[in-house]
Amino acid sequence: MPDSQTPDSPETVVLGQPTVGDEELAAVAAVFKSGWLAGAGPVCRRFEERFAAAVGTRHALSTSNCGSALYLGLRVLGVQPGDEVIIGDYTFPATGHSVLQVGATPVFADVRPDIWCADHQHVEALITPRTVGILAVDVAGQPGDFDDYRAIADKHGLWLFEDAACAAGATYRNRPAGSLADLAAFSFHGRKGITAGEGGALVSDRADLIDHARKLHTYGIEPAHGREGSRELTIPAFLEAGYNFRLSDVQAAIMNVQLDRLPDLLATRRGVAKRYTEGFADLEGVDVPVVLPDREHPWQSYILTISPEIDRGEVALRLRERGVQCNFGTYASHLQPVYGPQPSLPVSADIFARHLAIPMHSNLTDAQADRVITGVREVVTQLS
């Protein structure tokens, strides 16, 4: 959910902003002194160990971004041209793109109207003999109905892959996002809850999948750090064509600090979300996000649903004029031309037309959040 806005004055309340400081700078300086700045080095390995523990899995692989993690996951799951992969429709198209990139066909499932994740009943209705798996998206960070997805996958002999791009710190029935499927992919883009500007991770309990992905993400061979200390001149063999999808140790150093910050970052975002929800509770023409009682939301975004009688574009224009950044939510993927003609998915199409993301990050002050609340209330009232 990219932000096209640029702060034009000190008074602007920005849509998204990373929380970084002296600790991250010190971690980067330590990497500079070590001499290993490249990807897949010792700092990456340390981050991978810590991140796997944080998300409740046995293994993690740091990657250049979430898109590369999604692609690697599909490759090691054995997805082939002609296969079909069912995807929750309401998502940034990187999800669908990853399926196209391995030559398979994305099949989009409509979503629940409350939490915007894939409707498990529609997922099951879409299964055909060509279906090989389910790629379920944690929309804005809140996980979907993973017990239902797992039951469907097991019933039909499918794999289950979690797109947890926005979900660091989320839980589903007391299980961390990332541990809910055979594989999961995370993003560390600048708008995410923890960030190195860019970056990603692929996590799993299955060593075979992560080991294969590790070779693919380094051109098809074991990364150089894994050969460090050998008393022999080890010359690796390229058994398949791979890629350069590595996270640098500079970025991994930042991510180690961000992982330390995660509890505080989540607490701040949840405080802002609570303030917003209370501030909009009685506002007609706007619905606030739904958080289900059996899951914890990390609040990568806070997305309002605007009444169809109110011009969302005009709301956005007037908020921006007041110095409050905002944007649409994310995409109804089936409407994007890259995927060709698709069946109608009315729930996803409806929320795509009515969602409005307002500022959400860990640097928001109470005064800024109150400015957002006041601005939204005044603009919506004027247009109602």
Measured CA to CA, the distance from residue 128 to residue 149 in angstroms comes to 16
CB atoms within 10 A of CB 236: 15
- Region at 173 (left for phi over 0; alpha for psi -120 to 50; beta for the rest): left
DSSP lists the bridge partners of residue 142 as: 139
Beta bridge partners of 305: 287, 355
As beta bridge partners, residue 357 has: 303, 327
Interatomic CA distance for residues 290 and 207, integer angstroms: 36
Distance, CA of 351 to CA of 357 (rounded, Å): 12
Cα separation of 297 and 171, whole Å? 7
CB-CB contact of 299 with 269 (8 Å)? yes
Q: Is the dihedral of CA 286, 292, 298, 300 positive or negative?
A: negative
For the chain, the first-to-last Cα distance in angstroms comes to 27
Separation CA 301–CA 369 (nearest Å) = 14
CA distance 269 to 25: 23
Phi, psi of 381 (to 5 degrees): -65, -40
Residue 192 bears catalytic tag: yes
Q: What is the DSSP string of 213-242?
A: HHHHTBTTS--GGGGTT-SS-------S--
- Pairing status of strand 355-358 against strand 295-296: unpaired
Residue in 72, 107, 102, 48 with CA at minimum distance from that of residue 340: 107
Q: In the structure encoding, which two tokens stand for residue 210, read together? A: 């992560």
Residues 6+ apart with CB under 8 A from 180: 143, 146, 150, 160, 162, 172
Residue 191: C-alpha distances to residues 56, 116, 297, 360 (Å): 23, 19, 16, 9
Active-site position among 33, 155, 192, 215: 192
Q: Is the distance from CB of 98 to CB of 67 less than 8 angstroms?
A: yes
| Residues with active-site annotation | 192
